[in-house]
Chains A and B, each alone.
Chain A
Amino acid sequence: MTDPILVAKEVVKSFGGIRAVDGCSLQVFPSTITALIGPNGAGKTTFLNIVAGLYGADSGEIWFDRVRIDGLPAHAVVRGGLIKTFQIPRELRNFTVLQNLMVAAPPGPGDRFIDLFVRPFAIRRAEEEVVEAAEAVLAQVGLTAMRDEYAKNLSGGQKKLLELARALMARPRLVLLDEPVAGVNLTLQKQILQVMEGLRARGTTFFLVEHDMDVVMKNSDWIIVMHQGRTLAEGRADEVKANPAVIDSYLGG
C-alpha cells in the first residue's frame, strides 16, 4: 500500500463570515488522476488554492510527500514539486508562448542575481537547455506552431493548453488542475487528457477540479466528492456514481 502523496487534515478557511472550507480532510495517491467534484460553492477551488499556497488556511495541516506545506508561500510550494493551474488561464500576455514556458522552468543558474555576473557561461548553457525543454513540452501539447506568438494572441483553448504546458515545465510531481477542460473543444480535450495520461504513467500525479462529469467519470482513477466545505464521499467512478448521498447533493436523480 503506497503512501499518499498529498494529505489534508481538517483544513478550514473562512472568508468574512462564510466557511468556504470547513474541516476538509482527504488523501491523494501518487501516479493517479484524482478528481475533486462537487456543487458550486463546495469550496473546491478555495481548497486547491490553499494547497498551492495562494491562500493561507485558517487551521489544519497539509502534507505533501511527508513535508508539511501549509503556511508556505506559493513559490516555495512550487519549488517543492507541487504546481497549480488557473481556472481562467493566467498567461503572461506580452510574453511569447516560449517565454511563458521558460518562466516556468525549475530554478537554475541565472535565477539568482549574483549568478548573473559570476557564472555567465553556465547561464548561457542553462538557457539553451531550457529552450530545448520548452520546445519538447510544446511538442507534447501540440503548440509548437505558436512558439513565437505573443500569448495574448492565442485562442481560449490554446491558452488552456499553455496553462497546462507551463505547469509541466516545472517538472512537478503533483499537478493541481482547476477545470482543465472547461470550455475546450473535444479535440483539444482529448489532447489534454492524453498528455495527462502519458505523464501519469511516468509517475506524475494529477489532482483536478472538474465539472464535466463525462470527462471525470471516464478518466479518473479516483474521485473525491466535496460538499459544503468538506469531503462527502470518495471512490472509483462507478462507486461514486451509485452513492446515494452524492446523487442527492450533486449528480441529481
Chain B
Amino acid sequence: MAIDNTVLFIANYVAPASILVIMALGLDLQWGHTGLFNAGVAAFVGVGSYTFGMMATGLRPFDPTYGYPGHFGPPGPQDLILSALVAMVVPGVLGVLIAVPTIKLRADYLAIATLALAEIIRIIFQNATHVTGGPLGLDLVPRPFARYIAGGWPADGFFAFLIAILVLALVVALEYVSRTPWGRNLKAVREDEEAAEALGKDTFRLKLGAFGLGCAIMGLAGALQASWLSVVLPESFLPFVTFTTYVVVILGGSGNPKGVILGGYLFYGFGWTIQQVKSQRWFPVEWGPRIDFLNLIVIGLVLILLVLFRPTGILPERKYVPRARAKA
C-alpha cells in the first residue's frame, strides 16, 4: 500500500480513538478512582474544545454573513501549547466551581445535576452565536506545526503520533498518581467516604481536586478534538458522548488507567470497524443508517451485560502488594 494511504488509515483510527481515551482517563479519575458520578463529561470536553478553538484561531472581525466569530490571536506552535493549556485550565476551574456546591450530593443526584448543567452549557454553545458561532460553530482550528508540515497525510500522521505520545504520558502520570497517597486517598473516598473522613482525610478537598483535574483532562481531549477536526460544533457535545465515555471506562476497567486505554481503543475499534464495513459496501447502501442503529444497540447491550456480569471490566484494578521486606 502507498505510504500516504497507510498513514491516513492508521491516523484516522489512532487520533479519534486517543481523544476518546483521554476523555475516559479524565472520567476514570473522577468516577473510577473517586466515585464521583459526573454525567457532564460532554460539556467539559466542549468547553475545552471551544476554548482551544477561540484561542487558536486567527484574529478576524465578526463576519455576519458567514457567522464566524473572530477571536484571539494568530496561531504559532507556542501559541497552540498555550491554547491547549488554557483549554485545560478553563474546564478545570469550571469543574471546581460546579463541584463546590454539588459534590456533596448522592451519586444519582450528582448525575442528574451534572447532566442538567451540561445541557445548559450545550444550549449556550448552540445559541451564543457571537461567541461560539452558534449552530455553525468554530472553523479553521489549526493543527500544531501547521506552518512546517504539509496538510493531508503528513499532518494527520504527525498529529496521531503526537496524540499517542500524550496518551502514553497521561497514562504513566495517572498510574503514578494512583500509587501515591493522594491517589489512595481518592480511592478511600470512593470506598467509604465517612470512614475516610474519620481517618483524617479532607474528603471535600480531595473530591474537588479529583473533579477539577478530571475536567482539565477532559478539556485537553476537547482541545485535541478541535484541532483534529478543525471545527467545533455544538452537536459534538450531546449526552451521548458522556454515555460513550462511561462505556469505555466500565469496559476497560474503572479505576485502572491501563484498562481504560484498552477499553477506549477497543471500543473505538469496534465502531470504526463498523464504519469500514459500511464503506466497503459489503451490505447494501440503504442499510447504512440501520447499521448505525445496530451499532448503538450493541453498545447498549454491552453496557447492560457489563453491569450485570463483569462490572470490573476487562482489566480490573490490581491488588496492591508491595514487595515483602526482608525481616530484620
Q: Is A87 an interface residue (CB 8 A)?
A: no
B203 within 8 Å of A (CB atoms)? yes
Q: Are A99 and B182 in contact (CB under 8 A)?
A: no
Residues of the A chain whose Cβ atoms lie less than 8 Å from the Cβ of B4 = none
Interface contact B195-A116, CB-CB below 8 Å: no
Asked if B184 is at the interface of the complex by the 8 Å CB criterion, the answer is: yes
B197/A74 in contact, CB under 8 A: yes
Residue of B at shortest CB range from A93? B191
Give the complex CA separation of A95 and B319 in angstroms: 8
Tell me how far the C-beta of B35 lies from the nearest C-beta in chain A, rounded to whole angstroms.
11
Known: A75-B203, A116-B176, A170-B200. A111 touches B195 (CB 8 A): no
B195's contact among A76, A92, A123, A170, by CB below 8 Å, is which? A92
B320 CB contact (under 8 Å) in A98, A110, A116, A166: A98
Cα separation A78 to B200 with both chains bound (whole Å):
5
The answer to whether the Cβ of A237 comes within 8 Å of any Cβ in the partner chain is no
**Set of chain B residues within 8 Å of A78, measured between Cβ atoms:** 198-200
Q: How many angstroms from the CA of A99 to the CA of B322 in the assembled complex?
A: 10
- CB interface residues, A 42-97, toward B, < 8 Å: 52, 54, 73-76, 78-79, 83-84, 86, 90-96
Q: Contacts A93-B191, A148-B321 known; A103 to B198 CB distance under 8 Å?
A: no
Interface string of B193-230 (1 = CB under 8 A from A): 01111111111000001000100000000000000000
Contacting pair B200 A95 (CB below 8 A): no
Question: In the complex, which residue of chain A has the Cβ closest to the Cβ of B323?
Answer: A131
Q: Are A102 and B184 in contact (CB under 8 A)?
A: yes
B residues less than 8 Å from A95 (CB atoms)? 187-188, 191, 320
Indicate if the CB atoms of B325 and A108 lie closer than 8 Å.
no
User: In the bound complex, what is the Cα–Cα distance between A124 and B195 (angstroms)?
Assistant: 25
Cβ–Cβ < 8 Å partners of B320 in chain A: 95-96, 98-99
Q: Which of A75, A93, A98 contacts B200 (CB 8 A)?
A: A75
Interface size on A, residues (CB 8 A): 46
Map CB proximity to A onto B21-46 as digits: 1 under 8 Å, 0 otherwise.
00000000000000000000000000
Kindly identify which residue among B177, B181, B198, B317 contacts A90, using a CB–CB cutoff of 8 Å: B198
A217 at the A/B interface (Cβ < 8 Å)?
no
CB pair A54–B198 under 8 Å, yes or no, is yes
A103 contacts which of B199, B202, B325 (Cβ < 8 Å)?
B199
How far does the alpha carbon of A126 sit from the alpha carbon of B184 in the complex, in Å? 14
Whether, in the assembled complex, B275 has its beta carbon less than 8 Å from a beta carbon of chain A, the answer is no
Of all chain A residues, the one with the shortest Cβ separation from B199 is A104
Residue in B192, B196, B213, B322 with the greatest tally of chain A CB atoms within 10 Å: B322
Interface status of B132 (Cβ within 8 A of chain A): no
B184 lies within 8 A of A103 (CB): yes
Q: Which of A181-208 contact B (CB under 8 A)?
A: none
Binding site for A on B (CB under 8 A): 176-177, 180-182, 184-185, 187-188, 191-192, 194-203, 209, 213, 317, 319-322, 325
Name 18 A/B residue pairs within 8 A (Cβ), A-sorted: A74-B197, A75-B203, A86-B195, A90-B195, A91-B195, A92-B196, A94-B317, A95-B188, A99-B184, A109-B181, A110-B182, A111-B185, A116-B177, A123-B181, A131-B325, A135-B325, A148-B321, A170-B200
Known: A102-B181, A115-B182. 10 other contacts (CB 8 A): A52-B198, A54-B194, A54-B198, A74-B198, A75-B198, A83-B198, A83-B200, A86-B195, A104-B199, A132-B325
